Amino acid sequence: MSDDIDPALVAVLAQLWRARTETPGRAWSFAKLAKQAGLPMSTLRRQLTGLAESGLVDMQVSEEGTGSASLSAEGESLCQTVFGS
């Protein structure tokens, strides 16, 4: 990967890919994603928002601000190319 790619973005995508592999069809909570990626919640949310706006991630957010995320079909395709099986 190029040096100009945000490491936080790569960390989030890697964990979403891991989530898809370990628990197919289930979204991971923001808290779990932040912990697994080693990112502050604010950084995770910023990355997830950008990925969702790009159509790579599906997010569900509650009124309390908690939520979960999973890769969209397009995101799965991208991660398959980047991370492999």
pLDDT of residue 1: 47
Which domain range does residue 56 map to?
A: 7-79
Residue with the larger pLDDT of the pair 68 and 4: 68
Tell whether 12 is covered by a domain: yes
Q: pLDDT tens digits for 14-65?
A: 999 999 999 999 999 999 999 999 999 999 999 999 999 999 999 999 999 8
Tell whether 67 is covered by a domain: yes
pLDDT reading at 2 higher than 60 = no
Tell whether 58 is covered by a domain: yes
Sheet with strand 28-29: strands edge to edge: 28-29, 67-71, 57-61
CATH value at residue 13: 1.10.10.10
pLDDT of residue 3: 62
pTM: 0.90
Q: How many domains does the chain have?
A: 1
